[in-house]
Structure 1
Amino acid sequence: MFDKIYDVIVVGGGHAGSEAAAAAANMGSSTLLVTMNLQNIAQMSCNPAMGGIAKGQIVREIDALGGYSGIVSDTSAIQFKMLNKSKGPAMWSPRVQSDRMRFAEDWRLLLEQTKNLDFYQEMVTGLVIKGDEVTGVKTSLGLEIRAKTVVLTNGTFLNGLIHIGNKNFGGGRAGEKAATGITEQLVDLGFESGRMKTGTPPRVDGRSLDFSKMIEQPGDAVPEKFSYSDITKPLTTQRPCHMSYTSLEVHNLLREGFDRSPMFNGRIQSLGPRYCPSIEDKINRFADKDRHQIFVEPEGWNTVEYYINGFSTSLPEDVQFKALSAVKGFENVKFFRPGYAIEYDYFPPTQLTHSLETKLVKGLYFAGQINGTTGYEEAASQGLMAGINASLKVQEKEPFILKRNEAYIGVLIDDLITKGTDEPYRMFTSRAEYRTLLRQDNADIRLTPKGYELGIASEKRLKRMEEKLSKAEAFVGFFRTQSVKPEEANPVLESKDSQPIRQSDKMFKIFSRPNIGIEDVRKFEAVEAYIQSNDLDNEVIEQAEIQVKYSGYIAKEKLNADKLTRLEYVKIPSGYDYSQIKSMSYEAREKLKKIQPTTVAQASRISGVSPNDISVLLVYMGR
């Protein structure tokens, strides 16, 4: 294998690396996954869960394109919840609690069954570069493995430094050494690098906890699943999580250790995730709060290890133990390991193109936390896209780029490339201006045809999606054409305090009322008969309901998207000389020169580029 020239080498076996390797191999590229420890492929370094607000949409999108994250989330799930069900469907977000050990095992086995994929365990310490192109990687044993493209997915391992109180030591995560050499080489090549931090909470022995003092958090009564494929099934049994609270006593105990906290004594200078702060950061920033939620999450079906979500910390271990022991239900807590913070190198993503290829070195791609993101889901989606585009480059095809109105993945990458980030980037529904279109329920309709064209989504998946869409559209058509008489409709309407009708009316109009749901219209004889005779499953019924009840919003957002994306097709020539545009602001010229947007729409989203600057640019481009 050492004398072989691979199409794609993926460095790192986390969530980004695993998706990148799977995508490239499934597209027919000879692929090598190089990682420091093959036993830790797709390791859940932090919380044992996948999905959540906006993140669940990303996992659905990965699955729709043909990635593996959704399948593994299903096969390793111990609990399923659809979050935000009380809100509109644009906000619904699936989340699973995972069996940590099974998740990694299932990923490993899936990758081993993937054709065109080889594995090698060793540290990559550098890249082989000729001119402005990458031609392979160097390992700690001095080996040079050649490749046409390389995808770096180093996670928190690049010069990783772990902090617990006054102690610090090199490491990519607990029990694993840091990776060295790559940052220094890239900086020498002209790349800009920075430092970020993240943290993790203590893991504890569930046998030492008193769950009777906590609030049980069960999964959904009727659980769904992540993957659109029929190879996984919804859970039939689930494990509950629990919730407790900190208190003023807990906060005071934590404050006693602030003088030894690397966050407050200046030893950690880098920024951590704004929306996932440490417990010490929470009680410092929100001093008016006398308590914070603590979620007690099981690590698997059978293990007694629990993850204490909401108690991320880098305080000294004795302070952690003393404070956590004061939380209700934790009086006799036993630690498996303390929480810690970790600092690591990243590279501002404005140095990449939308394909995730670096601008300085051809054939070199970055994906995951190396780009300044946080979260398994954000990393996995970047890995998928980098693997796809590395394979396409080898095939001498155009890169695959998702637009902001096509996927949350498109929003994520466009935000990174166009705006950059100086703190760990996390996806939220609020970041997507077209979130009514980018729902978790229609990711397959949006993206499976694209995955099929790329060769990573199967024909079976495509046909299943087409059947779902056809049945849903026919069901919506049924509501548009069928009428219901007052004597049948009014008892249902009156039971929901909805205005009765005086004459027959279209079911679509009645169904569109805000307080009328699918369970209400199923009381109409013709509706239930249609469902039964056409063998409609819950997925089709839900899709039809959304199309009926939110048709106005969806149509309006599509119209806005069409208007705003016209500029996506106005290309800016490569290497465009912005210095000639004297009537454009100096800041705009500098930002455009640095980021080198490929379209006018991308240019318009760059911070510091005003609408007037865009108007001037269009004039100079002769538009």
Structure 2
Amino acid sequence: MSYLNPTYDVIVVGGGHAGSEAAGAAAQMGAKTLLITMNLEAIAKMSCNPAMGGVAKGQLVREIDALGGLSGIVSDETGVQFRMLNLSKGPAMWSPRCQSDRMLYSKKMRERLEEKENLYFRQDNVVDLMYSEDGKEIQGVITQTGQKFKSKAVVLTTGTFGNGLIHIGETHYGGGRSGERASTGISATLEKLGFEVGRLKTGTPPRIDGRTVDYSKLEQQLGDADPSGFSFLTEKLPGIDEQLSCWIGYTNDEVHEVLKTGFDRSPMFNGRIKSIGPRYCPSIEDKINRFADKDRHQLFLEPEGWDTYEMYLNGFSTSLPEDVQYKALRTIPGFENVIMIRPGYAIEYDYFPPHQIRRSLETKIVDGLFFAGQINGTTGYEEAACQGLMAGINSALKVQEKEPLILQRSEAYIGVLIDDLINKGTEEPYRMFTSRAEHRILLRQDNADLRLTELGHKIGLASEERLQKMQKKKEAVAQLDELIKDYTVRPEQMDPMLESKNSSTMNQPMKAEKILLRPEVSLQDMLDHDDEFASKIIEVTEDKKALEQVEIQIKYAGYIEKEFEMVKEMEKQENMPIPEQIEYSNIKSLSTEGTQKLSKIKPETIGQASRISGVSASDLSVLMVYLKN
């Protein structure tokens, strides 16, 4: 059979955050790549909140950037406000976040993708897959126009479009997001091939006309005076005076009573929505129902961009009837005269429980078929983007007949996310938190480049410029570390500063490191009171990130060393392989639940098996003895 269209190495289906990263990575690594999306004007569209990063999510974006992905640099280019969250806590908790210009983000991502020599585009809707006669190997895709595109690998990033169903009160209709139709056909094909399918729900709040808000009744939230971006290549970000403000408001009992009048017409409560939504981002009606003792809930009014007055009301996600949404909005202090531009809605969509994928994100059932993003049960742009990046990387490596890139839990938050999905599964949209990472002191946002850039460069993704910048920082940190440990500070210089911080004064000269180890003292405090010390530091570098890095390394050296020791111990069992063809039912001493879970998930290593819920310590011992024999 002859095909009208050329053959590709990799086809990426879907142009959201996962699809953009997947297509960009595969093309950058030399694979001839085709990105097929229903609307080329909506590439990397921020269909929910116009923001990137946040607690743990910011770490994911930094890791994407360190490997050579696109989300970090595009976020920095299009941010309207930048904030580092959790600065009152330890550095393992610091998380960058930026408010983004929604339309500009999509435009800049497309521009970045169009720079890729090996990347081609097609505006179309994929309705079916092509595969071998036995259903074991992917061969390409079929679109609604009847065109067939052949490829060696396919990455599915269907987001909320897979049989998407939008709910607003008693109204419901097919759609992938507001104003765009759903995608049908692929789910049926995957079920026919033997995949298990489920349904999840997410939602979004109403958008409002910012000109109709009384800001005097809200609390202003400014960005950081000295902002931190996501990309290690970014040199300059807008200062505090150049950033847009966000605003904080609150619901009250009156708002709650208005919302309750719509409960009988709510798809959440009348049984029309049967799927599960994200626990950590509930709708406003779910909040007032579950937390009846709370007399108010916090809301964040966020700008959608530089050149629009449309605003996003974070914290007011809802699928209530539109008339109830409108009346409730006008009961919120500051919103008495508000005009609603778009109503909030809930959306149900297909996902495929992630025990069906490998750590490379290739499916276990069909060779060469990869899943990334919400199709695996996650929520959030950042979670989707990092999966897209890994699927793009591993689809390119697959085509090049190379071993997949697998990030361990001790190497990256990305590794934690993928490991969690496969081993623990998810029955609700999965969201990343710092608490999910047992090695979070090692996986900080500030050192993502030191952890991952060399790896990204090795596979052909991270640029030479990025590698050199990382190596320069690494060398500067090593020199700074040596200087701080060797330099002696004197009481006459340090004591005034120590007294101001209620820290004990010095009886004699000490090494700078000893003073820096005090939690109340920062490196900048010391430099401000010792000109000679400051000049020696400047001789090494003026890079603020290198200074921050060395300070963290010195202050938390004990914790970091313990974590490294723990990682080494875990690696001994982590990398013990388990043959894919093993029949767990033949291992008689395994528990019934252990046999069922191991047979379902088919872990690749003992370490992976140890994290499966339902697999006991005795099951692991039995399995290890069995493998040795």
* Same fold by TM-score greater than 0.5: yes
Partner residue in 1 for 2:613: 607
Partner residue in 2 for 1:168: 172
What is the CA distance between 1:419 and its match in structure 2? 1.1
Q: Partners of 2:4 and 2:330 in 1: how far apart?
A: 53
Q: Partners of 1:615 and 1:514 in 2: how far apart?
A: 43
Q: Partners of 1:535 and 1:367 in 2: how far apart?
A: 40
Partner residue in 2 for 1:362: 367
Which of 333, 336, 340 aligns to 2:341? It is 336
Partner residue in 1 for 2:145: 141
Q: Partners of 2:536 and 2:325 in 1: how far apart?
A: 59
Q: Partners of 2:575 and 2:192 in 1: how far apart?
A: 36
Partner residue in 2 for 1:52: 54
What is the CA distance between 1:486 and its match in structure 2? 2.6
CA offset digits 1:272-303 (Å, max 9, x no partner): 00000000000011110000011000100120
Q: Partners of 1:263 and 1:76 in 2: how far apart?
A: 35
- TM-score scaled by length of structure 1: 0.99
Q: Partners of 2:315 and 2:465 in 1: how far apart?
A: 41
Partner residue in 1 for 2:538: 532
What is the CA distance between 1:488 and its match in structure 2? 2.5
User: Does 2:465 match 1:463?
Assistant: no
Q: Partners of 2:465 and 2:102 in 1: how far apart?
A: 30
Which of 299, 303, 310 aligns to 1:298? It is 303
Partner residue in 2 for 1:439: 444
CA offset digits 1:76-110 (Å, max 9, x no partner): 00000000011000000000000001000001111
Instruction: Give % identity.
Output: 61
CA contact (8 A) 1:471 1:536 kept: no
Partner residue in 1 for 2:94: 92
Partner residue in 1 for 2:624: 618
Q: Partners of 1:227 and 1:578 in 2: how far apart?
A: 45
What one-letter code is carried by the residue in structure 2 that aligns with 1:215?
E
Q: Partners of 1:485 and 1:532 in 2: how far apart?
A: 20
CA contact (8 A) 1:201 1:338 kept: yes
CA contact (8 A) 2:439 2:563 kept: yes
What one-letter code is carried by the residue in structure 2 that aligns with 1:48?
P
Unaligned runs of 5+ residues in structure 2 are none
The SS at the match of 2:292 is: coil
Alignment of 1:240-255 (within 5 A): 240-255=245-260
User: Does 2:208 match 1:204?
Assistant: yes
The SS at the match of 1:621 is: helix
Alignment of 1:239-318 (within 5 A): 239-318=244-323
What one-letter code is carried by the residue in structure 2 that aligns with 1:415?
D
Q: CA RMSD in A?
A: 1.0
Q: Partners of 1:70 and 1:97 in 2: how far apart?
A: 13
CA contact (8 A) 2:480 2:540 kept: no
Q: Partners of 1:341 and 1:454 in 2: how far apart?
A: 40
CA contact (8 A) 1:224 1:235 kept: no
Partner residue in 2 for 1:408: 413
Q: Partners of 2:148 and 2:215 in 1: how far apart?
A: 54
Which of 214, 224, 246 aligns to 2:228? It is 224
Unaligned runs of 5+ residues in structure 1 are none
What is the CA distance between 1:489 and its match in structure 2? 2.6
Q: Partners of 2:292 and 2:57 in 1: how far apart?
A: 29
Q: Partners of 2:612 and 2:398 in 1: how far apart?
A: 27
What is the CA distance between 1:213 and its match in structure 2? 1.1
What one-letter code is carried by the residue in structure 1 that aligns with 2:572?
R
Partner residue in 2 for 1:592: 598
The SS at the match of 2:93 is: coil
What one-letter code is carried by the residue in structure 2 that aligns with 1:150?
V
Q: Partners of 1:611 and 1:487 in 2: how far apart?
A: 58
Stretch of structure 1 that moved more, 578-587 or 14-23: 578-587
Partner residue in 1 for 2:114: 112
Which of 561, 571, 574 aligns to 2:580? It is 574
CA offset digits 1:277-335 (Å, max 9, x no partner): 00000001111000001100010012010000000000000000000100011000101
What is the CA distance between 1:224 and its match in structure 2? 1.7
What is the CA distance between 1:392 and its match in structure 2? 0.3
What is the CA distance between 1:483 and its match in structure 2? 1.8
Q: Partners of 1:427 and 1:515 in 2: how far apart?
A: 30
Which of 529, 535, 553 aligns to 1:547? It is 553
Stretch of structure 1 that moved more, 128-137 or 534-543: 534-543
CA offset digits 1:434-493 (Å, max 9, x no partner): 000000000000000000001110111111101101111211111111222233332222
Partner residue in 2 for 1:565: 571
What is the CA distance between 1:229 and its match in structure 2? 1.0
Q: Partners of 2:379 and 2:614 in 1: how far apart?
A: 25
User: Does 2:482 match 1:480?
Assistant: no
CA contact (8 A) 2:283 2:315 kept: yes
Q: Partners of 1:485 and 1:229 in 2: how far apart?
A: 38
Q: Partners of 1:622 and 1:424 in 2: how far apart?
A: 38
Partner residue in 2 for 1:33: 35
Which of 96, 113, 130 aligns to 1:128? It is 130
The SS at the match of 2:628 is: coil
**Residue correspondences, number:** 622
Which of 193, 196, 200 aligns to 1:189? It is 193
Q: Partners of 2:361 and 2:54 in 1: how far apart?
A: 25
